[in-house]
Structures are given as structure tokens and as C-alpha cells.
Structure 1
Amino acid sequence: MTRTDQPLGDLELVATFDPPMPTGVTVSQTGRIFLNHPKWGDDVPATVVELRDGERVPFPDEGWNQPDADDDRHAFVSVQSVVVDPLDRLWVLDTGSPLFKPTRHGGPKLVRVDLDSNAVGQVITFPTDVALPSTYLNDVRFDLRRGDEGIAFITDSAEAHGSNGIIVVDLATGESWRRLHDHPSTRAVPPRESRPVVEGRHFLKRPADGEPTAVTMGSDGIAISPEGLRLYYCPLMSRRLYSVSVDALCDRSLDDDRVAETVVDHGDRGSGGDGLESDELGRVYCTAYEQNAIFRLHPDGVFDTLVHDPRLLWPDTMSVATDGHLYVTANQLHRQPDYNGGKDLRQPPYALFRIPIDAGPVLLRP
């Protein structure tokens, strides 16, 4: 019997980082690695960087990393996710929400950087009825086969005082709309149903001068099936994995109730989790911060464990690269002051790892 308290899988250290802590990672088809650092309280000289010879270099330049205000549409305000699309272009998802502050029009945006020129090629901002004041843009996936230039899908993981859902974006026109607005599948579940435990302690907000309260962030991780028919997603504070019809998300003639009819509950994924990713074989990868692990859902509905390692202290964002590896950041998110009575318990350096996705033993998970 395989022991789950011992490392499982071939976890390779790619790089380590001093503060600020990273969240997102993505790898281009030529092997370039990009990271982002949201403005959650660390000193963040650049919210988007490229990893060059082990050093983080502001990308595409310093100017784009120096906003004039939180509604600056010509600079990155606080970036939560970076994703390279199938055409090898970098997309930057800007929350426009440093320290989770209310957004202002122009701050929340999706920015395309063309990697052949390292220049910004497109900026898509969102109307205020799509990116709400409470909106926190979390992660994004693409299907470039739809429409004239493709469609993007973004999770809104706003906390309980706000609304959750999926934002759909037509990349040709820049038009955007909300789907599954406050649908139960996009919302955090009550604490009694989730109760995540990280490093032996319930994961709660723990202010320096008050009682602990539940973390309430909703739809977070997102992944798309290889044929583009299903979009997978999960709230941060939930143990369940869901998917919805991409056709329904894109059909403007359908109301939200009709879209909701296509939601599938894929069951308990066995852990609280942050990021999702998928590969060309239709496998969906789920980070598991309670187990310092990454689980994998196969098309036949079977879950297994790709990797389990104590170094995966809060595995956050994943990226499947053309080199046959899954890249993942580990950023000790749960050790931030907000969750520890105002004390910063993080112990840098933070880490970027990779795992071969078709090698090594796996542990079947119930």
C-alpha cells in the first residue's frame, strides 16, 4: 500500500524566488516562462515578469508595470493570471483590484502581448455591469476556434459580499457578458461543508483583533476540454468540481437558467483546491492544498494523484507546457498575515516546480 505521507511523483524544482510571492505561471511554446505577482501586500516592483536566467524581468517592460491609478487601462494594476494561448501569445488578466479593493472601469482588463515582438497588441476592458465593483478576475482560458478570433472564459472569484460567475469575452469585438451569475456552483459553500485544513489547522481568516471567519472566495480554477465542449471550474472554498457547456456559455440567445441546465457536478475532488488545468488527452488537473498535491481527473471519471510532496506548500496555478511537463507555483498563500492573526508566517523562497505528466507511479484516490 502506498503511503501518502511520503513524496509521490517526480517533482522537479525549476526556480526559487524571494518576495514578492507569485501566483500565476505560463510557458510559451519556445520555453519562455512568465509569472505574475498580485498586489496583496508585498512590495511588488513588477506585477508581470519573464524568468530570464533565473531573474525576474518586468514584462513587457517597466512602463506597463507602473500604473498611474487603479483604473489605468494602459498599465497593469494587479495581475492575478498569465496564460499563453495556442497561437503562442501571452494574455494578462489584470484584476484592477490591489488589496482586493473595489474595481473602477479601466482597471479590470485582459491584455494580449505578442511574443514575437514583446509588444502589447490588444487591451480589452469590461463594462461595469460585467466587471462589477466587487469583481475579482481570477483565471482565464481560451478557445480560439469560436467566433472570428476566439472566445475567452474568466472566473470571478469575488468574496461573499460580491457576485460570482463566469465572464465570457469575444476576442474579436471585445464584447463581454456574465454567465452563471451567482449560480450555486460558482459560490463558496458554507464552512460546515468545506472546512479545509492546511498544515494541521482550519483555513480561516484570522484578524489580529477579532474572531476567525470563513474564507468565502467563489469560482476560481478554470480549464477547458480539448475539443472545447466543456468548461471546468471550481470555487476556492468548495470540494466540488463542475463543468458547463461551452456552447451554452457562448449562445447569447439563452438566458442564464438555460445555461445552468447544462452544469454537471463531477463530485467531490477530495480536497480544497485553487488551480485547474487540462491537457490534450482530456485530463483535468486539480491542485490540492490540503494534501500538498495535484490530483488528476481522467475522461473515464477516475481520479489519481499526479504528485504529492511536502514542498508543495499551497500549489496555486498550473500550466501544461509543450515540453511534456506541468508547471506549478507553490507560494505559501495560507501563511499570509490575513490567515494568521496578522503575523506573516511565510518562509521564502517561494518555488516554481514542474512534473512530467506521463511518467512515474500514481496513487488512486477514492
Structure 2
Amino acid sequence: MSSPLVVPKLASIALAVLAILSTTTGHATDTAPLERWRSYAGVSWEKPRDGADPAPFAASVDAPIAGLHFDAQGTAYVSTPRLVSAGALATLSTLDTRAQSGPARLTAFPSTAGNAVTGAPDRSLRNVLGFHVDRKNGWLWALDMGFVAGESEAPAGAQKVLVLDLQTGRTVKRIALDGVADRSGSFLNDIAVDERRRVAYISDSGMRSAPNNMVGLIVVDFASGQARRVLDKHPALQIEPGVKVMSHGTEVWPGNPLLLGINGIALSPDGLTLYWTVTTGTHVRSLRTAILRKADASDQQIAAAIRDLGAVGGNTDGIVTDARGRLYITDVTRNGIVRYDPRTQAMSLIASDDGVRWPDTPAIHPDGALVFTSSALNEHFASSVKNGQERYELWRLPLGGRKLKAN
């Protein structure tokens, strides 16, 4: 994407947009307390010595932590997408959450060589933003966007899903996406996996083709290794005209506004309902997955089954469901978490803190708590964070419910 402009303060616009966004969404009168669980000064792939913090990666400011998921034992996996710079040592790593400060202690997964930008494009992880830790099968589904910073087009074969064994790191399956994604216009953002049926759903935000985003939904079948694209350029996945993305009271990249289509994507615990949100938009939508798994279903039939669940209240990024089927949405406008309960159809802001800067990926920890990343991604992409001043944080919200089960 082109280099965004540094963001000025536009308080009057922010207040106007927030007023509009808030009119159809319920608000929690007593929001839950958020805990700044971990706060890291950059990242490091070095091994610590003699109990001291490892030296931070020299270009940590260009390697913000974005994606986050946990395995059944609580091991954290994170993505450092190569969107700002191609220089990060790895784009997918494990994170040692035992360390609570200093640089984030990362270990490349499956290996440093397996994350090499110079490796074979169809086999090496080049640029991972979204991924899924599959607790049922013991796999990690890595969604590779294919391109890295500075490339106008993804190399042939680079757009792919790599299914990796969590224990050994070996590639279980490689599923090519070049046939269902555009090498210059697609922005393969996030992936949700039905672990029991072994079917994955991918959001293509199409941001590299903005303002006429090549948005779409990609359905991937593990057994056949086939992928197909549906709802190509459909309005329910597209940016909403007139909507500005707001964070901390200012517009994101005024003059070169953020135009991000379908982004966060998640499944109900039984895998029967798919949810998604649009970042440059205001609504959350759903679709029964049975029709998506029908290879002969037309786009018209699929589109007719889409449900609009209502306005979130702010702009959004990542989403996740808990074991009870409740949907949690990161609200980048109000610096917190919105919950949607499909049983009551209630949508409300349940937690917020001014210390949160661009809440990105939410994940359910094995202990049942919600944990999400906050790395001021919008500021990093605007090149407005100075080297040495980056903070990559994990925030925690106790949910008080049942632990997550594999779907």
C-alpha cells in the first residue's frame, strides 16, 4: 500500500462520526476492567543470556506484533507482518509470555529458514498477518499474503495457506491461493478455521486495490486442497461510503484514508455460522456456513443468506467467539471490546481503556480470558512512531465463562 500521511488531530470530525456510529448501538453502563497484561519495548529473536533481557531487534519499530493465538497449553503465537518493512527476521513466531517487560522474546516458527523472504515463495512464509492455531488437530494454519513491503505484486505461488504441525513445524499441507486471489490487488487479511470439518474461511480486504477494493471471501477445503472465491466485490464485504476510520479522536491517515474492507472473521463454536466485520465500515454480518460449503452455490444464493447484525459503534479490526458463542470485536475507535450475543442480539461496549492503541487481534486463552494485541498499528503504518519508542502490548479481559473448545 502507499505510504500514509502522518495523522493530525481532527477532534470535531471525530466527535461527529462517533455520534453517528453510536446511535444504533447499545453501550454498557459499567464496562469491565481491562488489564495491561504484557508491555514490550520492541521485539527480539535473540536468546537471553545470564537472565538479562535480550538485545532488541534493530528494526523493532518496523515489526509490530499484530496477530495472536494460543495453543491448548497456553503457548502464544504471534505474527509480525512485513507490511512496514521486509526486514523482520520472522513473520510468524512463538512469544515467551513469561517475560513481562523488555523486548518481546520471539522464536521463529517453524524456523528462521521457514520465514525467509528469500526462500521459495510457495514454501517459505513471507508475510503473515492472520493465522489460526488448530487445537483439535494440533496444527497451525498460516495465511501468507504473499507480498512484502516494497513489492507491488506477490511472486507466483506466494499467496497460500501453509498448514504446519505445532509439534514439529513440518508442513502438513500447502494450499495455493493464486487462482482465487489477485497478486497485486488482494490483501489476504484473516483466517477462521472449522477444525472438525477442516474447512477454512479467508477474508480478502482488497486494500491494495483501493478505492475499488477487490474484496472477497475465500473458502479452503483441507481434504481436497482446493480453494474457491465467493462474494467477489460484494457490498457486504466492501468499504462503506462516507465512513472514516477513527482512532483516539483522529482520522486514520487523512488525505490518504484507510480503506480496508472485510477484515475480522470468526466462526461460531459449532462451525455453523461465519461472522465478519469491515474496518472502514460500521456493521457486523453473519452467514450460515452450510451454503458456503456447497460448491455449486451461486453468489446470488450466498448473498441472499447474509444477515446484518447491526452497527458495532466504532470501527473494528479482529473478532473471536467464546465457548458460549458470544462474539468479541476489537473497537479501534473506542479503544476497547464490543460483545455481541447471538441469543439476545445485544451489542455493547463491555471494556475500554484510553491506554489501548489500536486493539487488533483478540484470542481466547485456555484459562477462558480474552487477550488481545495493541501495537498502535495505524501509527506504525504512518511512520509516525520513532525508533525506540514502540510499545507492543497484550491486554487481558476476564470473561468468567467456560473455556474455549475446539470447533
Both structures adopt the same fold (TM-score exceeding 0.5): yes
Deviation readout 1:248-297 (Å, 9 max, x if unpaired): 11111111000000000111110000111111211001100111101110
- Partner amino acid for 1:328? F
Q: Please name the residue that 1:14 is paired with.
A: 38
5+ residue gaps, structure 1: 207-211, 360-366
Report SS of the residue matched to 1:335. helix
CA distance in 2 between partners of 1:254 and 1:7 (Å):
42
Q: Please name the residue that 1:82 is paired with.
A: 131
CA distance in 2 between partners of 1:263 and 1:6 (Å):
32
Contact 1:94 1:137 in 2 (8 A): yes
CA distance in 2 between partners of 1:84 and 1:303 (Å):
27
Name the CA shift for 1:195/1:41 in 2 (closer, same or farther; >3 Å): closer
Higher relative contact order (CA 8 A, sep 6+): 2
Q: Please name the residue that 2:110 is paired with.
A: 60
Equivalences for 1:147-166 in 2 at 5 Å?
150-159=198-207, 160=210, 161-166=212-217
- Partner amino acid for 1:270? G
Note the aligned Cα RMSD (angstroms): 2.3
Report SS of the residue matched to 1:172. coil
Contact 1:105 1:125 in 2 (8 A): no
Q: 2:358 aligns with which of 314, 329, 351?
A: 314
Q: Please name the residue that 1:136 is paired with.
A: 187
Shift of 1:131: 4.6
Q: 2:262 aligns with which of 204, 219, 241?
A: 219
Deviation readout 1:299-321 (Å, 9 max, x if unpaired): 21112333211221000011112
CA distance in 1 between partners of 2:223 and 2:359 (Å):
33
Question: Does 1:358 pair with 2:400?
Answer: yes
Q: Please name the residue that 1:363 is paired with.
A: none
Q: Please name the residue that 1:349 is paired with.
A: 391
CA distance in 1 between partners of 2:227 and 2:375 (Å):
31
Question: Does 1:98 pair with 2:148?
Answer: yes
Report SS of the residue matched to 2:186. coil
CA distance in 1 between partners of 2:124 and 2:233 (Å):
30
CA distance in 2 between partners of 1:184 and 1:104 (Å):
29
CA distance in 2 between partners of 1:31 and 1:283 (Å):
21
Q: Please name the residue that 1:272 is paired with.
A: 315
Contact 2:330 2:338 in 1 (8 A): yes
- Partner amino acid for 1:9? P
Equivalences for 1:175-194 in 2 at 5 Å?
175-190=226-241, 192=242, 194=243
Q: Please name the residue that 2:279 is paired with.
A: 236
Name the CA shift for 1:349/1:7 in 2 (closer, same or farther; >3 Å): farther
Name the CA shift for 1:163/1:81 in 2 (closer, same or farther; >3 Å): same
CA distance in 2 between partners of 1:242 and 1:4 (Å):
21
Q: Please name the residue that 2:19 is paired with.
A: none
Calculate the TM-score normalised by the size of structure 2.
0.79
- Partner amino acid for 2:190? D
How many residues align structurally? 342
Question: Does 1:122 pair with 2:165?
Answer: no
Q: Please name the residue that 1:333 is paired with.
A: 377
- Partner amino acid for 1:292? N
Equivalences for 1:23-62 in 2 at 5 Å?
23-42=66-85, 43-52=87-96, 53-54=98-99, 55-62=105-112
5+ residue gaps, structure 2: 1-26, 43-59, 100-104, 402-407
CA distance in 2 between partners of 1:92 and 1:358 (Å):
30
Range that drifts further, 161-170 or 115-124 = 115-124
Contact 2:79 2:91 in 1 (8 A): yes
Q: Please name the residue that 2:164 is paired with.
A: 113
Shift of 1:7: 7.7
Q: Please name the residue that 1:209 is paired with.
A: none
Range that drifts further, 236-245 or 128-137 = 128-137
Report SS of the residue matched to 1:80. strand
Shift of 1:17: 4.2
Percent identity between the two aligned chains: 26
- Partner amino acid for 1:86? R
Deviation readout 1:208-247 (Å, 9 max, x if unpaired): xxxx033211110001112222100111100111111211
CA distance in 2 between partners of 1:298 and 1:129 (Å):
33
Equivalences for 1:287-326 in 2 at 5 Å?
287-299=330-342, 300-326=344-370
- Partner amino acid for 2:351? V
Report SS of the residue matched to 1:98. coil
Contact 2:180 2:218 in 1 (8 A): no
Contact 1:282 1:298 in 2 (8 A): yes
CA distance in 1 between partners of 2:179 and 2:369 (Å):
38
